[in-house]
Amino acid sequence: MFRSQLVLTCALAAIVTLGCRAQTPPPNASVERRIEVLVRSQFNVPSNYDISLGGKTKSDIPGFDNLPVSFSHNGKQTTVTFLLSKDGNTLARLEKFDISKDPQSVYSLDHRPMRGNPGAKVTIVNYDDLECPYCARMHEELFPVTLDHYKDLVRFVYKDFPLVEIHPWAMHAAVDANCLGDQNGDAYWQFVDYTHSHGHEIDGNHDDAKQSFATLDGQVRAIGKKVGLNDTKLDACIAKQDESGVRASMHEGERLGIDGTPQVFVDGERIAAGAQPTAAVWDAIDRALKADGITPPERTDAAPPATPPTPAPAPAPSR
């Protein structure tokens, strides 16, 4: 978190700093001073941040040593590793990324209801907010068009990411959906379809969240009765309103850097946040199928257009 704040602060500093004067150290400045001046200049480090250099260590890059550079402010510190040439004349920055793991390992799909072929080659994961209008738009455009086009080649999984600070009934809806999903996957998807198509009806009196809760609970019971769920178990789950599973999904999303909904992943490939055009999702699905050696279905018609992508922003996390 501190590192992201530093990057943001540096970016803001670049915007508000006036003048076009280059920062050049005097000719006889030490290597340490030259490094500090360069880093402050290139990364627009705010003046109230202290910079300190750590000890050099051997690097994997011939001719360079690792050089830790620490940024500290208000008692918090983050360290970034640079590369310093053996002669002390060149500073470089190399960032490594771990690609040893399956891209889909970043999220858990355990006990999540699936829509589509359970054994499908490609999995579309969406971090969803049941009160989010952009999520509703994305949901409407993904189903049933995408399933109709790809048939048994794809499956969908929704993860919970209710923006509780701005959506008063989103958490309650997520808990209710999971109460259904614990007993029956089809019932879960019926409820998700309902919330994404009846948002205004659920809103009711915007000053009374309890009215929205009652509407949601009533719909859950109606779906439960329709598909023959255990009424006693369902009523107990609704009454308990256990948020732990939803919160775990939210924390997972935060670790992935999700800051708005909807947020779609296709076999681990992250699509830009927001109600993306269906064609953008189809492009990612086609790439995933080709990676598995499968020829994607021919697009006889262009994927349906969508309105410009706009994510529902997540407020600064307070959890």
Q: Looking at the structure, do residues 24 and 82 belong to the same domain, yes or no?
A: yes
CATH number at residue 242: 3.40.30.10
Query: For residues 263 and 275, what is the distance between their CA atoms, to the nearest angstrom?
Result: 8
Q: Looking at the structure, do residues 27 and 127 belong to the same domain, yes or no?
A: no
Report percent pLDDT > 70 for the chain.
84
**Which residues make beta-bridge pairs with 313?**
260
The pLDDT assigned to 312 comes to 58
What digits encode the pLDDT tens for the residues 121-171?
999 999 999 999 999 999 998 888 999 999 999 999 999 999 999 999 999
CATH number at residue 48: 3.10.450
Instruction: Give helix 209-227 / helix 170-181 axis angle, nearest 10°.
Output: 10
Count CB-CB contacts under 10 A for residue 224: 24
Query: For residues 123 and 159, what is the distance between their CA atoms, to the nearest angstrom?
Result: 13
Instruction: Give helix 231-240 / helix 209-227 axis angle, nearest 10°.
Output: 160
What digits encode the pLDDT tens for the residues 257-308?
998 999 999 999 999 888 888 899 999 999 999 999 999 999 875 554 444 4
CA dihedral 139, 142, 147, 150 (to 10 degrees): -150
pLDDT-based confidence at 44, cuts 50/70/90? confident
The pLDDT assigned to 225 comes to 98
The pLDDT assigned to 313 comes to 58
| Mean pLDDT to the nearest integer, 52-62 | 94
Q: pLDDT at residue 17 above 70?
A: no
Mean pLDDT of the chain: 86
The pLDDT assigned to 143 comes to 80
Q: pLDDT at residue 319 above 50?
A: no
Residue ending a domain, choose from 92, 118, 133: 92
Q: Looking at the structure, do residues 293 and 145 belong to the same domain, yes or no?
A: yes
Residue ending a domain, choose from 92, 112, 138: 92
Count CB-CB contacts under 10 A for residue 234: 23
Does residue 97 fall inside a structural domain? no
What digits encode the pLDDT tens for the residues 307-318?
444 555 555 444
Count CB-CB contacts under 10 A for residue 51: 16
Q: Looking at the structure, do residues 129 and 260 belong to the same domain, yes or no?
A: yes
**H/E stretch holding 260:** strand 260-261
Q: pLDDT at residue 13 above 60?
A: no
Does residue 319 fall inside a structural domain? no
Question: Which domain range does residue 230 map to?
Answer: 103-313
Query: For residues 296 and 190, what is the distance between their CA atoms, to the nearest angstrom?
Result: 28
The pLDDT assigned to 130 comes to 98
CB 168 within 8 A of CB 207: no
The pLDDT assigned to 273 comes to 81
Query: For residues 266 and 270, what is the distance between their CA atoms, to the nearest angstrom?
Result: 7
CB 230 within 8 A of CB 183: yes
Report percent pLDDT > 90 for the chain.
69
User: How far from 190 is each of 176, 227, 268, CA to CA, in Å?
Assistant: 12, 10, 26
**Which residues make beta-bridge pairs with 272?**
none
The pLDDT assigned to 14 comes to 36
Residue 154 CB-density burial (10 A; 0-12 exposed, 13-18 middle, 19+ buried)? buried
Where would I find the beta strands (DSSP E) of 129-242? 154-160
Query: For residues 250 and 267, what is the distance between their CA atoms, to the nearest angstrom?
Result: 20
What digits encode the pLDDT tens for the residues 200-253?
999 987 678 999 999 999 999 999 999 999 999 999 999 999 999 999 999 999
The residue among 241 and 19 whose pLDDT is bigger is 241
Q: Which of 141, 64, 107, 109 has the alpha carbon at shortest distance from 309?
A: 141
Place of tokens 């927001």: 274
| Mean pLDDT to the nearest integer, 12-18 | 33
Residue ending a domain, choose from 46, 71, 92: 92
Q: Looking at the structure, do residues 42 and 190 belong to the same domain, yes or no?
A: no
Query: For residues 319 and 312, what is the distance between their CA atoms, to the nearest angstrom?
Result: 18
Q: Looking at the structure, do residues 110 and 84 belong to the same domain, yes or no?
A: no
The pLDDT assigned to 63 comes to 95
Does residue 318 fall inside a structural domain? no
Structural domain count of the chain: 2
Query: For residues 130 and 172, what is the distance between their CA atoms, to the nearest angstrom?
Result: 9
The pLDDT assigned to 3 comes to 44
CB 92 within 8 A of CB 109: no
